[in-house]
Chains A and B, each alone.
Chain A
Amino acid sequence: MKSFRKFVDDIKPSFTKGGKFPWLKSTFEAFETFLFVPNRVTFRGTHIRDSIDMKRTMAIVVVALLPPLLFGMWNTGFQNALATGVERTVLQDFWFGFLQVFPIIVVSYVTGLAIEFVGAQIRGHEVNEGFLVSGMLIPLVLPVDVPLWMVALATAFAVIIGKEVFGGTGMNILNPALTARAFLFFAYPSYMSGSQVWISGLIKGEGIIDGFSGATALGQAAANEPVLLNTTSQPITPMDMFIGTIPGSIGETSTLAILLGAFILIYTGIASWKIILSVFAGGLAMGLLMNAFGGNALRDLPAWQHLMLGGFAFGAVYMATDPVSGAQTERGKWIYGFLIGIIAIMIRILNPAYPEGVMLAILLMNVFAPLIDYYVVEGNIKRRLKRLKVNTNP
């Protein structure tokens, strides 16, 4: 390690002002601090600091994303096997899915990080770690058959328009990963919805069993099918929804894997349990209300099952909890999460144009989060002013 550190120290001057490659300073710094926690010490204020930093925080989120990612890879192979009628082992399923999903992850990271590096260099800043998470979130919210050039385009859009124009990580208004998904959803709807896109190989249609349907549970419910069927025309059990052996975006199908991730995020103290809990509470409340009305398949679907379908759980755990685009006051977090839950289920059930409402609900509440915080902080200000008035006019 010492000789490696010496090598880094030796080449360091080339990247500083007056060296050969000063225009690569941010890039060099990013790699250096990635390899080594820097030797910088406190010089004013507190003399000691907590061990946590942004890299660690983002790394934990990526770890928390592993359960849905690994499950999603396996499920990709599993769904394909069902569609083509091929017999495969668990490992073969996983390997098949890995080959489908891995390129999407690579494209997402390469595109996003390249833009981040250039952006940081132009501003003369250090490269922010935020994209380590966004780069993993983007693939997980896309259907597996999405063309790679679309992934690159959406990522570029999300990073530039969603984040960099506002000043980089910490300054953005919308969740970058959802910005990418929303971009694709509205620009290329045929690749992002319908019954063909959720299972690998279905669009090409080679070797697919006759009469095979790749429709998601929500798609069927939206079409007012009385009984939700899986791809082999058996009724979908709540257990299927919970485990996640159903078609859907790569990372969103398994509620179990997502809850595992939620446990990691909450236990380490990185995501707000208040937001996660209140999103689920809001969704349940709205679902129960709709159950009371009834009348079609979507409204009759038990409220608790709504929480396990589509991107609801994934959005609640990984998207709504983004600290930058979400509400920042503790009281605001309850309101913010609850409204996401309500609006997500409301859009899902009442709006025929969108079978899935979670993405739009979170983006909408991203926009409203500063307003919620404004009123929470305003309450604090009012209390302070009231105290002043009481004291001056006894």
Chain B
Amino acid sequence: MPEVIKIRRGLDIKIQGAAEKIILTAEKSKTYAVKPPDFPCMTARLNVKAGAKVKAGDCLFYCKDRPQIKFASPVSGEVTSIERGERRKILEVVVTADREIEYTDFGTTDPSKLEPDQIAEKIQNAGLWPVIKQRPYAMIANPSKKPKSIFISCFDSSPLAPDLDFALKGQSVAFQAGLDALAKLTDGKVHLGLNGKYPPADTFINARGAEMHYFSGPHPAGNPGIHIHHIDPVNKGESVWYVHPEHVIQIGNLFLKGIYDASRLVALTGSEVKKPVYYKMLSGASVEPVVSGNVTGTELRYISGNVLTGSQISRTGYLGFYHNQITVIPEGKHYELLGWAMPGFKKYSTSRSFWSWLSPGGKYRLDTNLHGGERAFVMTGEYEKVLPMNIYPVYLLKAILAEDIDKMEMLGIYEIAEEDFALCEFVCTSKINVQSIVRKGIEAMIREVE
């Protein structure tokens, strides 16, 4: 048995609605969207106008600062609308799909025979570069700076997350092709972060040319940020790239089949879903076909992604670029008489201040209520219990609030992302918006340092 890195600090939230391991093919969505707000710290420039005809893999928009980073349409069809928000910021580029998807052909090649530049160019042209993210800053990787290593975290520990060992099994060939392509982009190693709890899928353990690391423990044990922190931490001036295994397979398919294949297995989860199962969908698809008639209740929150880091969408909203999970939970717009004084037999809390500790095995139907008002930092030691990093979270957050760039750097801003601090936000007694503060700090760093 290989060495397992045991993550001790963290939390598996006991929430209802995990997906059963059944795969259904979703009814095809009529419209698809690519959403620039899915990509932090990126300003989009449009490449198409409303009414244009596109094929799957054609560029819809590109990054203003790095035009080689392109964003592709997942389907063929007609660009029907471009939704804009404040200051004409692009929110959604919507494509109405043809009945059959027509793919732009990027040509099949063996990645081992290509130069790194050619590989990067091919990935960029097919609109797949945005799947590669980097630390520091948890944003799309900067193509002009070689990373010291590349991480692929092959399990997702977040609440109700899809089981990647189940979802990606039997895709060894495409995964290996993607891995070979990525390995050429770094002079360092490619690291796989595997689930130490049980034997991982063949897709991962048969992979060649990568170093395997096993992790066990509660969430965030599966976060790439945690894997990077424990294996090859990011220092000032360095960068590490990381890619979701689903996207490694997409890159593999680009080289094997020559197309931008946006299909993925999506877990429909949450306490309000009647039949939580896995669906085969395309990136950017509307969630309407899978949720309509499949949810209970009226006041619901639809989330693309998981309950900690996902983004709120409408019932007819679109699946996010990085997401392979849809969660539906009840909204919590209700008052509770003297709620803070009641015993709270059914209230979930990591502290034992509610009597729900009497039933430790149960899972909870959690809603979106804040359960209190925002306060200053008062309690201590709360964040540390759910952050398995050698970082002092409150000091780092205070440095961000004080906009002290030097302090942020010294306290480890290069190593963190919102998702790593999401549990801190969940447990916070003072109801502080921790993830927003982290993003604010990252934006300040990009502004001042880059």
Main SS class of interface, A: loop
Residues of A within 8 A of B384 (CB): 330
The distance in angstroms between the C-alpha atoms of A174 and B179, with both chains bound, is 57
- Docked-complex contact B378 and A130, CB < 8 angstroms: yes
Is A353 an interface residue, CB under 8 A from the partner? Answer: no
Residues of A within 8 A of B426 (CB): 46, 48-50
Looking at the assembled complex, report how far the CB atom of A261 sits from the nearest CB atom of chain B, in whole angstroms. Answer: 14
A380 and B335 in contact (CB under 8 A), knowing A41-B370, A52-B353, A268-B352? no
The distance in angstroms between the C-alpha atoms of A384 and B274, with both chains bound, is 48
Looking at the assembled complex, report how far the CB atom of A378 sits from the nearest CB atom of chain B, in whole angstroms. Answer: 9
Is B312 an interface residue, CB under 8 A from the partner? Answer: yes
User: A101-109, A165-173, A355-363: which one contacts chain B?
Assistant: A165-173
Task: From A36, A270, A377, give the contact of B335 (CB < 8 A).
Answer: A36
The distance in angstroms between the C-alpha atoms of A44 and B422, with both chains bound, is 11
Interface code B413-429, partner A: CB below 8 Å = 1, 0 otherwise?
00000100010011111
Is A39 an interface residue, CB under 8 A from the partner? Answer: yes
The residue in A38, A167, A171, A324 that gathers the most chain B C-beta atoms within 10 A of its C-beta is A38
- Docked-complex contact A40 and B370, CB < 8 angstroms: yes
Looking at the assembled complex, report how far the CB atom of B183 sits from the nearest CB atom of chain A, in whole angstroms. Answer: 21
A189-226 at interface with B (beta carbon < 8 Å): none
Is A351 an interface residue, CB under 8 A from the partner? Answer: no
A53 and B348 in contact (CB under 8 A), knowing A46-B309, A47-B301, A130-B378? no
Chain A residue with the shortest CB-CB distance to B376? A170
The distance in angstroms between the C-alpha atoms of A169 and B329, with both chains bound, is 34
User: A17-25, A56-64, A92-100, A145-153: which one contacts chain B?
Assistant: A56-64
Is B372 an interface residue, CB under 8 A from the partner? Answer: yes
Looking at the assembled complex, report how far the CB atom of B39 sits from the nearest CB atom of chain A, in whole angstroms. Answer: 17
The residue in A1, A37, A171, A324 that gathers the most chain B C-beta atoms within 10 A of its C-beta is A37
Interface code B366-397, partner A: CB below 8 Å = 1, 0 otherwise?
11111111111111110010000011101100
Looking at the assembled complex, report how far the CB atom of B1 sits from the nearest CB atom of chain A, in whole angstroms. Answer: 29
- Docked-complex contact B347 and A170, CB < 8 angstroms: no
User: B81-89, B163-171, B337-345: which one contacts chain A?
Assistant: B337-345
Residues of B within 8 A of A42 (CB): 368-370
The distance in angstroms between the C-alpha atoms of A246 and B331, with both chains bound, is 55
- Docked-complex contact B353 and A270, CB < 8 angstroms: yes
The distance in angstroms between the C-alpha atoms of A52 and B428, with both chains bound, is 8
- Docked-complex contact A36 and B337, CB < 8 angstroms: yes
Residues of A within 8 A of B366 (CB): 48
A269 and B340 in contact (CB under 8 A), knowing A50-B426, A168-B376, A323-B380? no
B306-321 at interface with A (beta carbon < 8 Å): 307-310, 312
Task: From B350, B369, B390, give the contact of A40 (CB < 8 A).
Answer: B369
A268 and B351 in contact (CB under 8 A), knowing A171-B376, A323-B378? yes
User: A72-80, A179-187, A234-242, A385-393: which one contacts chain B?
Assistant: A385-393
Residues of B within 8 A of A328 (CB): 380-381, 394
The distance in angstroms between the C-alpha atoms of A33 and B233, with both chains bound, is 44
A330-381 at interface with B (beta carbon < 8 Å): 330, 333, 377, 380-381
The distance in angstroms between the C-alpha atoms of A388 and B233, with both chains bound, is 10
Residues of A within 8 A of B339 (CB): 36-37
Task: From A47, A126, A330, give the contact of B310 (CB < 8 A).
Answer: A47
Is B26 an interface residue, CB under 8 A from the partner? Answer: no
- Docked-complex contact A52 and B371, CB < 8 angstroms: yes
A39 and B369 in contact (CB under 8 A), knowing A51-B347, A328-B380, A388-B235? yes
- Docked-complex contact B349 and A51, CB < 8 angstroms: yes
Task: From B308, B349, B373, give the contact of A52 (CB < 8 A).
Answer: B349
Task: From B349, B374, B427, B436, give the contact of A44 (CB < 8 A).
Answer: B436
Task: From B329, B394, B435, give the contact of A45 (CB < 8 A).
Answer: B435
Is B430 an interface residue, CB under 8 A from the partner? Answer: yes
Residues of A within 8 A of B368 (CB): 41-42, 47-48
The distance in angstroms between the C-alpha atoms of A59 and B342, with both chains bound, is 10
Q: How large is the interface on B (under 10, 10 to 19, 20 to 34, 35 or more residues)?
A: 35 or more
The residue in A49, A60, A126 that gathers the most chain B C-beta atoms within 10 A of its C-beta is A49
- Docked-complex contact A269 and B375, CB < 8 angstroms: no
- Docked-complex contact B429 and A51, CB < 8 angstroms: no
A49 and B370 in contact (CB under 8 A), knowing A267-B352, A323-B380? yes
Chain A residue with the shortest CB-CB distance to B333? A39
Residues of B within 8 A of A43 (CB): 312
- Docked-complex contact A37 and B329, CB < 8 angstroms: no
- Docked-complex contact B390 and A380, CB < 8 angstroms: yes
B403-444 at interface with A (beta carbon < 8 Å): 410-412, 418, 422, 425-431, 433-436
A154-177 at interface with B (beta carbon < 8 Å): 167-171
- Docked-complex contact A41 and B331, CB < 8 angstroms: yes
Is B65 an interface residue, CB under 8 A from the partner? Answer: no
Looking at the assembled complex, report how far the CB atom of A172 sits from the nearest CB atom of chain B, in whole angstroms. Answer: 10
Is A91 an interface residue, CB under 8 A from the partner? Answer: no
Looking at the assembled complex, report how far the CB atom of A205 sits from the nearest CB atom of chain B, in whole angstroms. Answer: 43
Looking at the assembled complex, report how far the CB atom of A52 sits from the nearest CB atom of chain B, in whole angstroms. Answer: 5
Interface code A245-272, partner B: CB below 8 Å = 1, 0 otherwise?
0000000000000000000000111101
Task: From A47, A54, A385, give the contact of B372 (CB < 8 A).
Answer: A54
The distance in angstroms between the C-alpha atoms of A387 and B410, with both chains bound, is 12
- Docked-complex contact B354 and A51, CB < 8 angstroms: yes
Chain B residue with the shortest CB-CB distance to A326? B380
- Docked-complex contact B307 and A48, CB < 8 angstroms: yes
- Docked-complex contact B378 and A324, CB < 8 angstroms: yes
17 further A-B pairs in the complex, CB-CB below 8 A; given A37-B369, A38-B335, A44-B433: A36-B336, A41-B369, A43-B312, A44-B435, A45-B435, A48-B366, A49-B431, A50-B371, A50-B427, A52-B354, A53-B429, A56-B340, A167-B376, A170-B430, A329-B392, A330-B384, A383-B390
Which 3 pairs show the lowest CB-CB distances between chains A and B?
A53-B372, A170-B376, A37-B339
A residues at B contact (CB < 8 Å): 1, 4-5, 33-57, 59-60, 126, 128-130, 167-171, 267-270, 272, 323-324, 326, 328-330, 333, 377, 380-381, 383-385, 387-388, 391-392
Between-chain CB contacts (< 8 Å), 27 pairs: A5-B337, A36-B336, A37-B339, A37-B369, A38-B335, A41-B370, A42-B370, A45-B433, A47-B308, A48-B13, A48-B329, A49-B369, A49-B426, A50-B351, A50-B427, A52-B429, A53-B431, A56-B372, A57-B379, A59-B341, A129-B375, A169-B378, A170-B378, A269-B351, A385-B410, A387-B233, A388-B235
